Structure 1
């Protein structure tokens, strides 16, 4: 009887530690420990794959790469995250653009919202078909090619275009969270670009957050930026999110400010295709 009790106790202890290990694995942020990264959206040149493999983390445009090229980058332990435009439809991406339907575009005064600077259109995250199309694209470009995660760009459009319409902003945010929950079930890691207000809602579903234009003088002389610096730090502490920053000016001061906050900084003085 005692022997059976001991065996039962041992089995319970083993199961307990296995469960603890399992849940710790689920909760671990794959971006923990990343101290350097590179953004590269261009098509790969002859030595691009080799250069990218020298970074702990790279963010790329996945449509330009094959599964074999991704695999070569990952051989040294490099994490590869693929660019997905969340709130805008780029006209250059013809294969994806032609899949969108009327209800996927956001309309103001009965017209699509055209973003001239980017040759793109503002999209409506509340459209079920739009979310399904994005998920299909993520499956083809991220999951099928076995990248490590998704870099969701233009989330900041939710803050920029809907900040004066709280009802619409809430609907867009809630719809984005529906998308993120699907990615969570697929065990896909996500880095969100911009959208500081929206990040207060999406924080439980993302592993990373990127703050572009992280210039020291601008932040330290702007009350709004200083306030969001505190809030972004809080997100990092509260949810274990890795914060990435990018600057094109004031290299040393911007790096020091980022490092002081525990953020990972990237200096890009010209453009992302420069090495």
Structure 2
């Protein structure tokens, strides 16, 4: 039922701030940070008719993820020149998606969210890191990411599964298992990126037609966008029939 209802939504939000059940209840679907909401909060949102999707990080982890961080070993991380590959802006490190330990931890987290906490689905963030330029053994990482998504669909056939980014290659392998692909901050106004944007849009449009996957665009830091840029991005989404959400910086509040 949730998956069917998802494809009929008109208004969604991505919100990683503290709980704000009343405001979030105004959306058809919300993507939230699970640790900031209680099971009762989730139930209240669902009672208001809102689909509740839980954020999951797939390929980045840091000390903020206390339980998982403590369980990992050095061999679970990706390395370059003998050092862990760091995402310094977020104080996180890239994981090896072939790690059986990490995949088990990830699966356990998703299982708790879907079977115990009452989430309608999951939002697979940072999975697009498999396409980072210069990533060691990128082909193997893309294959592992695809296998993870396929496995989640097998285990949780009724759950909404959303993938963030991974638009160069990963989406071609995972679209058949997904309910939605989100494209975060497409550079629609950059002249140097126009050909790439057109290529990705054509690819996503084809995946939507073939697999019935919903395409959504996310725009971070919308509060600083000039009106012209806002209109351009809105027009781009409308022309392709994408659902779009314009978010304040880092998705920590609601517009």
TM-score, normalization by structure 2: 0.88
Which of these residues, 178, 186, 210, is aligned with residue 147 of structure 2?
178
CA contact (8 A) 1:63 1:141 kept: no
Q: Distance in 1 between matches of 2:128 and 2:46?
A: 29
> Radius of gyration: which is bigger?
1
Structure ranking higher on relative contact order (CA contacts 8 Å, 6+ apart): 2
SS where residue 84 of structure 1 aligns? strand
Relative to 1, partners in 2 of residues 1:155 and 1:104: Cα closer, same or farther, differing over 3 Å?
same
Which of these residues, 4, 10, 13, is aligned with residue 38 of structure 1?
13
* Alignment match, 1:272: 251
SS where residue 7 of structure 2 aligns? coil
Q: Distance in 2 between matches of 1:116 and 1:142?
A: 31
Which of these residues, 237, 248, 251, is aligned with residue 230 of structure 2?
251
CA contact (8 A) 1:40 1:59 kept: yes
Unaligned runs of 5+ in 1: 1-24
Q: Distance in 2 between matches of 1:53 and 1:220?
A: 39
Unaligned runs of 5+ in 2: none
Superposed, 1:110-259 pairs within 5 Å as: 110-161=82-133, 168-185=137-154, 186-187=156-157, 188-196=159-167, 197-218=169-190, 222-247=194-219, 248=222, 249=225, 250-259=229-238
Kindly report the root-mean-square deviation, in angstroms, between the aligned alpha carbons of the 2 structures.
2.0
Deviation sequence 1:162-203 (CA, Å, 0-9, x none): 57x6xx222212212222222212222210001102111111
* Alignment match, 2:69: 97
Offset at residue 269 of structure 1 (A): 4.7
CA contact (8 A) 1:70 1:147 kept: yes
Relative to 1, partners in 2 of residues 1:98 and 1:56: Cα closer, same or farther, differing over 3 Å?
same
CA contact (8 A) 1:219 1:226 kept: no
Relative to 1, partners in 2 of residues 1:103 and 1:89: Cα closer, same or farther, differing over 3 Å?
same
Kindly tell me the number of residue pairs found equivalent between the two proteins.
244
CA contact (8 A) 2:234 2:244 kept: yes
Offset at residue 161 of structure 1 (A): 4.0
CA contact (8 A) 1:96 1:137 kept: no
Relative to 1, partners in 2 of residues 1:43 and 1:90: Cα closer, same or farther, differing over 3 Å?
farther
Q: Distance in 1 between matches of 2:193 and 2:97?
A: 34
